């Protein structure tokens, strides 16, 4: 119970002498226990902090959920943990939340190309245009993805293989990446963007991913528990068999994958896939109108977008997140993409400057 405990003043002394810990007291005890178990990661880089917290096993068998909040700092470098706080549930076996305030480095001095853009306290910020021109054009060239943030994903957590034991496939034998890093040999490179009209998705498929491409079960959520599913097919509506296609650029058809609209073409959507002579690292880009997501699932709120997520059980073991633009035109690209399981990102800053960042740094 987190509200006031209402007891008769006549009975309070007698009851308190025999009553067990209240839920509030139990929660306080649980929090104190969690404080003792969770190491202080203040001052660490975000990558190191996440690695340290991932290794913690709570006494009750629970897990640590990381809640990240970003803010600019004049003194700390980007990605340094500025502050840590802990929330523990009543039962120590439940998930313990660790709140991390993470530095974005110094606030950029560049001016936004439009005036008075408000960023909400829950982090609903736009994803990206550096000017009034379209920042992403779906045409099969992929050049406009080169400077965009990205996340490295796979359909299972192959981190130990990437960093310790090595990976095999498509000419790779025991290939490793430096610890804490990935590349397109071992994981899919994914970028997720949204403006006020479309959601944009880019995937460079991992070299070791034997199918080379998968267009099924692309799930998008705009915040909350409502989602829409889409599939990609060949122009004739059949499953696109990348393994038996020649090198070249292919236009795909985006279709609804759920509800009464299932298997109907998505109006206004577009997708291209490029297959290379060496038959790996195929590149996909696509866009889907927000209106078509709502058409498939009327419960999706496309007017007030929170944290947009994409996941595909054939390609990822976790969701990839990108903040939504809501009704704003564009605002920020440099920190648009979050790809961490059991985490949520918040931006608590108004009138954020335009910070440009290279992809997958």
pLDDT tens sequence across 165-201: 999 999 999 999 999 999 999 999 999 988 878 999 9
Tell me, what's the pLDDT at 35? 58
| CATH code at 12-103 | 3.30.10.20
* Least confident residue range of 236-245, 314-323, 348-357: 348-357
pLDDT, tens only, 42-59: 999 988 988 888 888 777
- Closest to 33 in 3D by CA, of 90, 100, 99, 84: 90
**Percent of the chain scored above 70 by pLDDT?**
68
Digit-coded pLDDT (tens) for 229-245: 999 999 999 999 999 99
How many CA within 13 A on the CB side of residue 350?
Answer: 5
Taking alpha carbons only, the member of 352, 302, 310, 303 closest to residue 330 is 352
C-alpha distances in Å from residue 296, one per residue of 1, 96, 197, 279, 292: 40, 36, 16, 34, 6
Look at residue 297 and give its three-state secondary structure: coil
What is the reported pLDDT for 90?
A: 40
pLDDT at 345 over 50: no
| Averaged pLDDT for residues 135-149 | 89
- Tokens found for residue 111: 């001016």
In the predicted model, is pLDDT for residue 25 greater than 70? Answer: no
269 has a pLDDT exceeding 60: yes
The long-range contacts involving 171-179, CB below 8 angstroms and separated by at least 24 positions, are 171/207, 172/207, 172/208
The CA-to-CA distance between both ends of the chain, in Å, stands at 45
* CA neighbor of 44 nearest in space, from 91, 82, 2: 82
Q: Report the C-alpha gap between 186 and 161 in whole angstroms.
A: 9
Contact 96, 38 (CB under 8 A): yes
- Closest to 309 in 3D by CA, of 181, 194, 154, 174: 194
- The domains of the chain are located at 12-103, 143-347
Which residues make beta-bridge pairs with 346? 69
User: Which of the two residues, 72 and 313, has the higher pLDDT score?
Assistant: 313
Distance CA 266, CA 253 (A): 8
Q: Which two tokens stand for residue 169?
A: 């496939």
């Amino acid at each position: 119970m987190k509200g006031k405990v209402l007891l008769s003043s006549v009975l309070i002394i007698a009851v308190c002498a025999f009553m067990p810990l209240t839920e509030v007291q139990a929660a306080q005890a649980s929090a104190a226990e969690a404080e003792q178990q969770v190491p202080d990661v203040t001052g660490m880089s975000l990558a190191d902090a996440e690695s340290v917290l991932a290794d913690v096993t709570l006494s009750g068998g629970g897990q640590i959920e990381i809640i990240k909040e970003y803010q600019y700092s004049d003194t700390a470098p980007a990605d340094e943990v500025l502050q840590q706080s802990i929330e523990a549930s009543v039962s120590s076996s439940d998930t313990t939340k660790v709140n991390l305030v993470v530095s974005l480095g110094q606030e950029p001095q560049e001016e936004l190309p439009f005036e008075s853009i408000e960023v909400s306290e829950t982090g609903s910020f736009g994803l990206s245009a550096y000017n009034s021109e379209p920042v992403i054009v779906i045409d099969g060239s992929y050049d406009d993805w080169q400077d965009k943030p990205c996340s490295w994903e796979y359909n299972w957590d192959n981190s130990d293989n990437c960093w310790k034991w090595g990976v095999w496939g498509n000419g790779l034998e025991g290939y490793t990446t430096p610890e804490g890093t990935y590349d397109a040999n071992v994981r899919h490179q994914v970028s997720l963007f949204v403006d006020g009209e479309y959601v944009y998705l880019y995937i460079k498929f991992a070299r070791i991913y034997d199918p080379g491409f998968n267009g099924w079960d692309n799930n998008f959520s705009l915040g909350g528990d409502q989602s829409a599913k889409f599939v990609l097919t060949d122009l004739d509506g059949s499953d696109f068999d990348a393994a038996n296609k020649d090198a070249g650029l292919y236009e795909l058809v985006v279709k609804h994958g759920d509800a009464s609209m299932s298997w109907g073409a998505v109006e206004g959507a577009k997708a291209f896939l490029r297959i290379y002579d060496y038959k790996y690292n195929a590149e996909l880009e696509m866009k889907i109108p927000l209106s078509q997501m709502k058409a498939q699932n009327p419960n999706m709120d496309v007017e007030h977008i929170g944290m947009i997520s994409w996941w595909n059980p054939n390609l990822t073991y976790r969701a990839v997140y990108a903040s939504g633009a809501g009704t704003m035109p564009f605002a920020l690209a440099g920190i648009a993409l979050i790809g961490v399981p059991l985490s949520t990102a918040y931006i608590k800053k108004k009138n954020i400057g335009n910070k440009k960042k290279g992809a997958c740094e």
